[in-house]
Amino acid sequence: DAKTTQPTSMDCAEGRAANLPCNHSTISGNEYVYWYRQIHSQGPQYIIHGLKNNETNEMASLIITEDRKSSTLILPHATLRDTAVYYCIVPDGGSQGNLIFGKGTKLSVKP
C-alpha cells in the first residue's frame, strides 16, 4: 500500500500557484519524498524529490514540514499543460524505482 495520502482532486486557475498537499506520517528518517505526474495517456514524469530541506527546480518547489510528516508541491504559475494526476510517493524500502503509486491528486488547471 502507498505510504502517502493525497486529496482526490483539485482545481487551479491558470497563472496561479497550485499547491498540492501530501501526508506521509509514517515516513522514516532516511526515506525521500518523490513527486511524479502523469499527463493523460503518457508515462509518469518525475518532478522533484526531497529528504529534509525544501527543494526547487525548473518545474516546481517542494516544501517539507520540519517533522517530515507532510509536504506540499508548488507549481508557481500553473498552465493548462499542468493538468495531470500528481503522485506523492515514498518509495518502498528506499529504492526509488520500486514506486508504490496511490490514487494521486487530479489537478485541473482552468482558464
Partner 1 sequence: DTAVSQTPKYLVTQMGNDKSIKCEQNLGHDTMYWYKQDSKKFLKIMFSYNNKELIINETVPNRFSPKSPDKAHLNLHINSLELGDSAVYFCASSQLGRGTEAFFGQGTRLTVV
Does 94 sit near partner 1 (CB under 8 A)?
A: yes
Question: Could you say whether residue 85 binds partner 1 (CB under 8 A)?
Answer: yes
Residue 58 or 111: the one with the smaller Cβ distance to partner 1 is: 58
**Interface with partner 1: number of residues (CB under 8 A):** 22
Measure CA of the first residue to CA of the last residue in the chain; give whole Å: 35
* Euclidean distance between CA atoms 109 and 82, whole angstroms: 7
Give the interface segment with partner 1, choosing from 11-19, 21-29, 46-54, 59-67 (CB under 8 A): 46-54
From candidates 14, 44, 61, 63, binder to partner 1 by CB under 8 A: 44
29 lies in the binding site for partner 1 (CB under 8 A): no
Q: What are phi and psi of 49, to 5 degrees?
A: -150, 160
Residue 57, classified by CB atoms within 10 Å of its CB into exposed (0-12), middle (13-18) or buried (19+), is exposed
